[in-house]
């Protein structure tokens, strides 16, 4: 079954969250930020004073906590951590813990269940089109130049441009080189470079691509239904004639 999923993957600062939220509103699908789930796990690891380099301990945390992401924010074990997960501490360890296969397995299962419960969605992350929903109706790889990405992050959260650029490039390196679901464009994805483009412009391009994909599916369905009806008529005629 093709779920009504738009997968938006890409590196930090490419504009994924802003674009994904706006696309979701535009096409009438719910929005899921999977990065917030990994950040929730990183928050719990720090909360429990677990060493982020200890895969076994981190996996135990990921498997035992409850992370809920909804339009109001993110909660971990019932506590609202929407603001905490954006802090520098969580940001500095999230890619380390997100590279562990048991952590990813738990998150993937949660993400698939979320989409089934919601009947589809606009899902933003690093491995959505490649691994979590390879059959998504539309797959986007959203990127931008390193300079633009760092400048955007500084505008969002403040800080020194050089420091932020270094932190982003370190996360890019870990996210792209890990063995389990590395960050890369999915097969059949459309790559969009958002450098120097407005949000509206990018959102418009994605919404148009979604309409085209949905129309293509509807046309294929109509063609199949017409084929089935014709075969049924032929069989019925055979029976009547015979
Ligand atoms: O907001 P930003 O783009 O900086 O990052 P995020 O989307 O909140 O994701 C934080 C981190 O979680 C990423 O750097 C990845 O290490 C990890 N992540 C992942 O591994 N797989 C995903 N589907 C989403 C995020």
| Residue 101 pLDDT | 98
Q: Which residue has the higher pLDDT, 43 or 237?
A: 43
Residue 184, both tokens: 């890369």
> Tens digit of pLDDT for each residue in 68-123?
998 889 999 999 999 999 999 999 999 999 999 999 999 999 999 999 999 999 99
| Residue 215 pLDDT | 85
> Tens digit of pLDDT for each residue in 123-153?
999 999 999 999 999 999 999 999 999 999 9
> Tens digit of pLDDT for each residue in 17-54?
999 999 999 999 999 999 999 999 999 999 999 999 99
CB of 98 shorter than 6 A to ligand 1? yes
> Considering the chain, what is the average pLDDT of its residues?
93
The percent of residues in the chain predicted with pLDDT above 90, rounded, is 84
| Residue 198 pLDDT | 95
| Residue 212 pLDDT | 94
| Residue 241 pLDDT | 59
Instruction: Identify the burial level of 45 via C-beta atoms within 10 angstroms of its C-beta, where 0-12 means exposed, 13-18 middle and 19 or more buried.
Output: buried
Domain count, the chain: 1
**Which protein residue has the closest C-alpha to ligand 1 atom 13?**
95
pLDDT band at 242 (very low <50, low <70, confident <90, very high): low
Q: How many CB atoms lie within 10 A of CB 226?
A: 10
The rounded Å distance from CA 172 to ligand 1 centre is 10
- Contact status, residue 192 vs residue 202, Cβ threshold 8 Å: yes
| Residue 2 pLDDT | 61
The rounded Å distance from CA 1 to ligand 1 centre is 27
Helix ranges (H only) for the chain are 16-27, 34-47, 55-64, 88-98, 101-118, 146-157, 161-177, 199-241
For residue 132, give the ligand 1 atom closest to its CA.
23
Separation CA 235–CA 216 (nearest Å): 29
**Which protein residue has the closest C-alpha to ligand 1 atom 19?**
126
CB of 61 shorter than 6 A to ligand 1? no
Beta bridge partners of 124: 8, 33
CB of 39 shorter than 6 A to ligand 1? yes
Residue 178, both tokens: 């890990």
Q: Among 35, 124, 131, name the best residue to mutate to test ligand 1's pocket (greatest count of ligand atoms within 8 A of Cβ).
A: 35
The rounded Å distance from CA 137 to ligand 1 centre is 22
Separation CA 3–CA 206 (nearest Å): 17
Cα dihedral 42, 48, 51, 57 sign: negative
The percent of residues in the chain predicted with pLDDT above 70, rounded, is 98
Domain of residue 163, residue span:
3-241
| Residue 214 pLDDT | 87
Report which secondary-structure segment, H or E, holds 32: strand 31-33
- Contact status, residue 86 vs residue 38, Cβ threshold 8 Å: no
Report which secondary-structure segment, H or E, holds 6: strand 5-9
Q: What are the Cα distances from residue 158, in Å, to 81, 86, 126? A: 20, 12, 24
Q: Which CATH number is 209's domain given?
A: 3.40.50.300
Residue 165 has pLDDT above 80, yes or no: yes
Separation CA 130–CA 212 (nearest Å): 21
The rounded Å distance from CA 118 to ligand 1 centre is 22
CB of 111 shorter than 6 A to ligand 1? no
Mean pLDDT of all residues in 192-209: 97
**Which protein residue has the closest C-alpha to ligand 1 atom 2?**
12
Residue 169 has pLDDT above 70, yes or no: yes
């Amino acid at each position: 079954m093709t779920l009504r999923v738009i997968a938006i993957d890409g590196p930090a600062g490419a504009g994924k969250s802003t674009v994904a939220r706006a696309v979701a509103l535009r096409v009438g699908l719910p929005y899921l930020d999977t990065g917030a789930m990994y950040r929730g796990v990183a928050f719990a690891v720090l909360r429990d004073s677990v060493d982020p380099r200890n895969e076994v301990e981190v996996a135990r945390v990921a498997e035992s906590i409850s992370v809920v992401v909804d339009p109001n924010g993110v909660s971990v074990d019932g506590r609202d951590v929407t603001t905490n997960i954006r802090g520098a501490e969580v940001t500095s360890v999230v890619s380390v813990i997100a590279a562990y296969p048991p952590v990813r397995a738990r998150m993937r299962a949660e993400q698939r269940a979320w989409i089934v419960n919601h009947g589809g969605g606009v899902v933003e992350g690093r491995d959505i089109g490649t691994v979590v929903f390879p059959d998504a109706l539309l797959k986007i790889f959203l990127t931008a130049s390193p300079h633009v990405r760092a400048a955007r992050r500084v505008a969002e959260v403040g800080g020194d441009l050089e420091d932020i650029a270094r932190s982003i490039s370190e996360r890019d390196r870990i996210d792209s080189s890990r063995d389990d679901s590395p960050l890369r464009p999915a097969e059949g994805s459309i790559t969009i470079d958002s450098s120097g483009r407005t949000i509206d412009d990018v959102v418009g391009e994605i919404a148009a691509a979604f309409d085209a994909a949905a129309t293509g599916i509807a046309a294929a369905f109509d063609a199949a239904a017409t084929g089935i009806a014709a075969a049924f008529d032929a069989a019925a005629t055979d029976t009547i004639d015979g």
